[in-house]
């Protein structure tokens, strides 16, 4: 990184925003100033340190160099209200929300995969969906080696992906079950404790949900290949943190499990855990609080030509959201791209 320090804002101080603040400090981001913006003024404590929260407004972005918008997946608001206005005022926006991911002006970036897209940014950069990030951290290196023709994904997504209220709901339902009582769900349409809910997001065409459609569209944009066929079933599971995905992949060229392991072992941000005899494989607990995406259960799918199965896990609040955004910011600093063209 260069020797310059930057005035930084984090917009939103929910589950993702809190992790953004933690990671900016833990990773020694070159901060001249850290401003936290939200809907209302208050004081928030993070890891024993108190932070003043300032009401978000257009004027609050004056003289800010980089703004991390921490919007919860599917939550409309902050980036729509202030994102492009912040850019107009000279701020580079890195947005965790989904409002502008498919906007042609906006690069959709996983730094380990397509950081070059940042070199032509227009001041507004989007974080992909957490599910897409976790999947593509494993799939992009394999795509470069053998070309992906088709992906079938089944996801097992943690409640932290729905925000802190969903985490509390799972806790409350578990306590109620232990006490032989009932806690009526408020965040989800059905109880999540000891249950799975095969719907994430709103309904779109042909019974698909918005979460499932995101995986398809974002994969096409990030890998710059609309020929890849993607079919997904996205499921909410009673796990506090860490998204898991079972991926069935058909490649254009032959790729053995050993070749896939070798490729992934060298891929940045990926850790291979793949030894059944020693009970070594990815789990949500193993990936929670870790920067790497874990990959295992790599094996042939003998029902199709050039088919492989994989199981991947990633911390949806870190690599799936806050960490990926901070890494984008680090790349902009390192490459001297913190500027609005």
3-state SS, one letter per residue, for the chain: CCCCCEEEEEECCCHHHHHHHHHHHHCCCCEEEEEEEECCCEEEEECCEEEEEEECCHHHHCCCCEEEECCCCCCCCHHHHHHHHHHHCCCEEEECCCCCCCCCCCCECCHHHHHHHHHHCCCEEECCCHHHHHHHHHHHHHHHHHCEEEEEEEEEECHHHHCHHHHHHHHHHHHHHHCCCCCCCCCCCCCCCCCCECCCCCECHHHCEHHHHHHHHHHHHHHCCCCCEEEEEEEECCCCCCEEEEEEEEECCCCCHHHHHHHHHCCCCEEECCEHHHCECCCHHHHCCCCCEEEEEEEEECCCCCEEEEEEEECCCHHHHHHHHHHHHHHHHHCCCCCCC
Most distant CA atoms of the chain, gap in Å = 60
In terms of residues, how long is the chain? Answer: 341
Does residue 122 have an active-site annotation?
no
Which one of 130, 234, 287, 313 is the catalytic residue? 130
Burial per residue of 3-35, b for 16 or more beta-carbon CB atoms within 10 angstroms, e otherwise: eeebbbbbbbbebbbbbbbbbbeeeebbeeebb
Which one of 91, 121, 234, 243 is the catalytic residue? 243
* Chain mean position to CA 230: 18
Does residue 190 have an active-site annotation?
no
Query: Mutual orientation of helices 130-146 and 257-265 as an angle, nearest 10°?
Result: 120
Least Cα distance to 230 among 161, 152, 336, 144 occurs for 152
Catalytic residues, which ones?
130, 243
């Amino acid at each position: 990184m260069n020797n310059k320090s930057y005035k930084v804002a984090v917009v939103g101080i929910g589950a993702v925003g809190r992790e953004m603040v933690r990671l900016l400090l833990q990773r020694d981001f070159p901060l001249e100033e850290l401003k936290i913006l939200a809907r209302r003024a208050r004081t928030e404590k993070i890891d024993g340190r108190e932070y003043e929260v300032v009401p978000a407004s257009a004027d609050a972005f004056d003289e800010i160099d980089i703004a991390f918008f921490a919007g919860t997946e599917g939550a409309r608001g902050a980036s729509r209200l202030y994102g492009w206005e912040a850019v107009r005022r000279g701020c580079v926006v890195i947005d965790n929300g989904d409002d502008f991911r498919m906007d042609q002006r906006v690069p959709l970036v996983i730094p380990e995969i397509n950081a070059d897209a940042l070199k032509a940014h227009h001041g507004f950069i989007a974080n992909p969906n957490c599910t897409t990030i976790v999947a593509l951290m494993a799939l992009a290196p394999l795509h470069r080696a053998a070309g992906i023709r088709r992906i079938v994904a089944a996801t097992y997504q943690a409640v932290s992906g729905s925000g802190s209220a969903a985490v509390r709901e799972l806790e409350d339902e578990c306590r109620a079950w232990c006490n032989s009582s009932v806690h009526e769900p408020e965040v989800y349409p059905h109880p999540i404790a000891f249950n799975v809910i095969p719907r994430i997001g709103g309904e779109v065409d042909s019974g698909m949900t918005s979460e499932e459609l995101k995986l398809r569209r974002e994969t096409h944009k990030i890998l710059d290949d609309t020929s890849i066929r993607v079919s997904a079933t996205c499921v909410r599971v009673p796990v506090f943190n860490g998204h898991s995905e079972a991926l069935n992949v058909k490649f254009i060229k032959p790729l053995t499990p050993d070749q896939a392991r070798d490729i992934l072992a060298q891929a940045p941000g990926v850790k291979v855990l793949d030894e059944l005899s020693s009970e070594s494989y990815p789990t949500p607990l193993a990936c929670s609080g870790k920067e790497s995406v874990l990959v295992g259960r790599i094996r042939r799918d003998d029902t199709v030509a050039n088919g492989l199965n994989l199981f991947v896990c990633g911390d949806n609040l870190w690599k799936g959201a806050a960490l990926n955004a901070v890494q984008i910011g680090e790349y902009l600093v390192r490459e001297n791209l913190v500027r609005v063209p």
